[in-house]
Amino acid sequence: MLLIALFLGFLYVHDESKHALFGKLWPRLTNSLTTRTVLQRNAVLQVLNGDNSDSIKLIEIGAGTGENIAFIDKLENVAKINYIGVEPNEALYNLLLNRIHTLNPKFKYETSMKFGGEYLNRVADNSVDYILTTFVLCSVDEQQSLLKEMYRVLKPGGKLLYVEHVLYYDEARLASHIFKGLQIVLTPIWRLIAGGCELHRDTESAIKSVGFSTSPQREMVYPILEPFPLYMPLPLKYGSATK
């Protein structure tokens, strides 16, 4: 018990170790999360299929190991995508690069090992068609300022495509208050082992607060917490938010 407490205390003060631990854990978890969120990822990315532009500029913030690239690659009616993957975690960034190199050359790929806000600082106002985030806005340190930056760089009518887990949304029953309470209580420990991820963020409100309009769908998913046979209930909100 004391060892666990010391380890968590060490992670609390040592940011780099927290990210290094996440770089080791995440590649084990990512497959379970992706297979349980195929529907939601496909749903938000379908917007690209309806876009008739000759070329689309899409920035993915927090691309992780590149899980979404396989989904983007399968879109049939998209002419040309200029995809930029931004991923600050070195271990995950290397896996992202591996995945990009195996994919369809009809898409133009670029990557950056920066934090989202740091990358977007250098991007011109009103210059991006789409930004994609999946399970990222739960863990960015500076959620509000990153969302403002996303809003700034998107073209008028441009879209933030997102699949995010959030604070449980059902107001009605006692069980939902218990669930929300657990999300709040577990977050301080969870954020240490899960790369800063917070279970109780009201991300839909945050997206709207910077000016986007959005009416997301909601769903519960249950990825397995490998290597343990434990299911993690995650309330999701997903959809597109328009500038």
48, 56, 83, 87: which one contacts ligand SAM (CB under 6 A)?
Answer: 87
* Residue 222 near residue 36 (C-beta atoms within 8 A): yes
Give Dmax over CA atoms of the chain in angstroms. Answer: 59
| String of contacts with ligand SAM for each residue 1-40, x by CB under 6 A | -------------------------x---x----------
48, 92, 154, 160: which one contacts ligand SAM (CB under 6 A)?
Answer: 92
Of the candidate spans 9-17, 60-68, 180-188, 199-207, the one that interacts with ligand SAM by CB under 6 A turns out to be 60-68
Of the candidate spans 43-51, 86-94, 105-113, 212-220, the one that interacts with ligand SAM by CB under 6 A turns out to be 86-94
Task: Give the residue closest to ligand SAM by C-beta.
Answer: 64
* Residue 83 near residue 69 (C-beta atoms within 8 A): yes
* Residue 132 near residue 60 (C-beta atoms within 8 A): yes
Short-list 226, 215, 35, 61, CA closest to 137: 61
Cβ at position 32, least distance to ligand SAM in Å: 11
- Could you say whether residue 195 binds ligand SAM (CB under 6 A)? yes
Site for ligand SAM in 116-135 (CB under 6 A): 116, 134-135
Q: Following CA atoms 50, 56, 57, 62 in sequence, which dihedral angle do they give, to the nearest 10 degrees? A: 40
Q: What tokens does 66 get?
A: 């590149």
Cβ at position 170, least distance to ligand SAM in Å: 23
64, 85, 158, 216: which one contacts ligand SAM (CB under 6 A)?
Answer: 64
Of the candidate spans 1-9, 57-65, 75-83, 121-129, the one that interacts with ligand SAM by CB under 6 A turns out to be 57-65
11, 59, 84, 86: which one contacts ligand SAM (CB under 6 A)?
Answer: 86
Q: Which residues bind ligand SAM (CB under 6 A)?
A: 26, 30, 61-64, 67, 86-89, 92, 115-116, 134-136, 139-141, 195
